[in-house]
Amino acid sequence: MSKYTDYNLKPFLQEAIDKLGFQEPTPIQKEIIPLILKGKSAIGQAHTGTGKTHSFLIPIVEKIDASKKEVQAIITSPTRELATQIYNELNKLVEGTDIQTKLFIGGTDKARAIEKLKTQPQIVVGTPGRIRDLTVEQALLVHTSKILVVDEADLAFDLGFITEIDQFASRMPEQLEMYVFSATIPEKLQPFLKKYMDSPVHIKIGHKRPVADGIDFIVTPVRSKSRKKRLLDVIEGINPYLAIIFANTKQNADSVAHYLEGNGIKVGVVHGDIAPRERKRVMKQIHELEYQYIVATDLAARGIDIPGVSHVINYELPDDLEFFIHRVGRTARAGLTGTAITLFEPSDEDALIRLEKMGIPFEHKDVVNGEWSELKERHARKNRTKNESEIDMIAKSKVRKPKKVKPGYKRGMKWEMDIVKKRERRIKARKK
């Protein structure tokens, strides 16, 4: 299948996919969507950014019978954040339909969750512990659900959630359609898989770089400046043919555009709240090269074709890293080269590491007065190892921190260690 239309999806679902701006199925989607539509259990090995989430959401929505007010699919993810992301993407697909969805995650009011279950939703998304609790309370009736998705199974296993999944999966129909997604499949996960899956199809998407060649990836620290001032520094250091600046929300996009205009930079703005007539006018101006900079949100930019993008600037990293791949994919098209620049703060480090694991080769750079310079490796401090000598190690082993510490104890420990080191050096010198 080379297009979503080849799957003959329900009109509302095809319309939602078009609205999201998806052009054609990703490799994991081409493999998984037909299997779920046929009801064939599968294991999918793929990283974030491969389109994995929609590979199961699209066919599940297609299979839901909205006339039956019962649970028909359960999707579990090991963290509240991931579950919430899946739930938000799901609701974009079912918007305007009679399909009922519910999110159940830890850290929320369980009594209120039980109250919500007076009417059973057709699709449930949640964390394993909360779904298990609601099942045990007999508030969530899972016995009608023929579909179970276990997302990020290796993480669920590491966090000890497989037992909880087992507790509610055992109450589901014997002929269960189960779909497990994971970057790796640990050997210790096999007994759980064998218990519920009969000869599943195993799909493994290669660990190829998820973006086109020809893109330079730069990360630059915000440091003590405001993010907007840092953005101005970056703009001073580039001269793009056309640059898209991505913000996560419509409010942030408007705020960034207003700030840039206040600094004499003409920008076009593209997001969901722009009226159709205004949007058409902006797009005409973009195609006529009246703007060098466009500020956009993810969904708005993915739903339109903007040719000639030489630079992508991530004003902030998206919550769903799948969108990072789509953002940077706007440049280096048709054999051209491009640059993707990301502003980051220490709180973004985990997301950057995840992107690096996916194959994104970041360069760490600074820009001052329009000039770019190389910085030390971002995690140089983390990776740095102390070159302790044998004598240092002996001193550490012999001088212990006192059980009851008093003011100045560190000074005393250092003094003791220095004495041990001197003694060890003398012993070593005599041996020579």
* Tokens representing residue 196 in the block: 């519920």
- Supply the pLDDT for residue 379: 63
CATH of the domain at 273: 3.40.50.300
- The proportion of the chain whose per-residue pLDDT surpasses 70, expressed as a percent, equals 89
* Tokens representing residue 146 in the block: 């023929």
On whether the CB atoms of residues 306 and 286 are closer than 8 A, the answer is: yes
- Supply the pLDDT for residue 304: 60
Q: 146, 174, 204: which is the final residue of a domain?
A: 204
For residues 362-382, give the mean pLDDT. 84
- Supply the pLDDT for residue 11: 95
Q: What is the pLDDT of residues 151-188, one digit of tens each?
A: 988 778 877 889 999 999 999 998 899 999 987 787 88
- Supply the pLDDT for residue 369: 92
Q: Is 210 a member of any domain?
A: no
Half-sphere exposure of residue 157: CA atoms within 13 angstroms, side-chain side: 17
Q: Is 209 a member of any domain?
A: no
Domain co-membership, 158 together with 106: yes
pLDDT greater at residue 205 or residue 38:
38
Q: Is 304 a member of any domain?
A: yes
Domain co-membership, 234 together with 368: yes
Q: Is 248 a member of any domain?
A: yes
Q: What is the pLDDT of residues 226-280, one digit of tens each?
A: 999 999 999 999 999 999 999 999 999 999 999 999 999 999 998 878 876 887 7
Domain co-membership, 281 together with 188: no
- Nearest in space to 62 (alpha carbons), one of 6, 105, 7, 109: 7
Domain co-membership, 183 together with 238: no
Per the structure, how many domains does the chain have?
3
For residues 323-336, give the mean pLDDT. 81
- Supply the pLDDT for residue 299: 65
Half-sphere exposure of residue 49: CA atoms within 13 angstroms, side-chain side: 23
Domain co-membership, 106 together with 222: no
Domain co-membership, 286 together with 394: no
Domain co-membership, 136 together with 43: yes
In sequence order, the 6+-apart residues with CB closer than 8 A to the CB of 101 are 87, 90, 91, 94, 121, 122, 123, 124, 125
* Tokens representing residue 208 in the block: 């190829």
Q: Is 116 a member of any domain?
A: yes
Q: 382, 399, 419: which is the final residue of a domain?
A: 382
On whether the CB atoms of residues 341 and 330 are closer than 8 A, the answer is: no
* Tokens representing residue 149 in the block: 């998705």
In sequence order, the 6+-apart residues with CB closer than 8 A to the CB of 358 are 47, 48, 49, 210, 321, 325
Is the pLDDT assigned to residue 382 strictly greater than 50? no
- Supply the pLDDT for residue 277: 80
Is the pLDDT assigned to residue 73 strictly greater than 70? yes
For residues 193-216, give the mean pLDDT. 81
pLDDT greater at residue 303 or residue 390:
390
Q: 204, 230, 255: which is the final residue of a domain?
A: 204
* Helical ranges in 39-79 per DSSP H: 52-63
Q: Is 278 a member of any domain?
A: yes
Domain co-membership, 158 together with 233: no
Distance CA(107)–CA(110), nearest Å, equals: 9
Domain co-membership, 220 together with 345: yes
Query: In the β-sheet with 311-314, what is the strand arrangement from edge to edge?
Result: 267-270, 293-296, 243-246, 311-314, 338-344, 215-221, 362-368, 371-374
pLDDT greater at residue 388 or residue 347:
347
On whether the CB atoms of residues 244 and 313 are closer than 8 A, the answer is: yes
pLDDT band per the 50, 70, 90 thresholds, residue 350 = confident
Q: How many helices (H) and strands (E) does the chain have?
A: 18, 15
Domain co-membership, 200 together with 103: yes
| Residue 152, burial from CB neighbour count under 10 angstroms (0-12, 13-18, 19+) | buried
Domain co-membership, 191 together with 230: no
- Structural domain harbouring 353: 215-382
Q: Is 39 a member of any domain?
A: yes
Q: Is 396 a member of any domain?
A: yes
Half-sphere exposure of residue 159: CA atoms within 13 angstroms, side-chain side: 15
On whether the CB atoms of residues 13 and 4 are closer than 8 A, the answer is: no
Domain co-membership, 368 together with 243: yes
The DSSP symbol for 106 reads T
SS3 290: coil
pLDDT greater at residue 379 or residue 112:
112
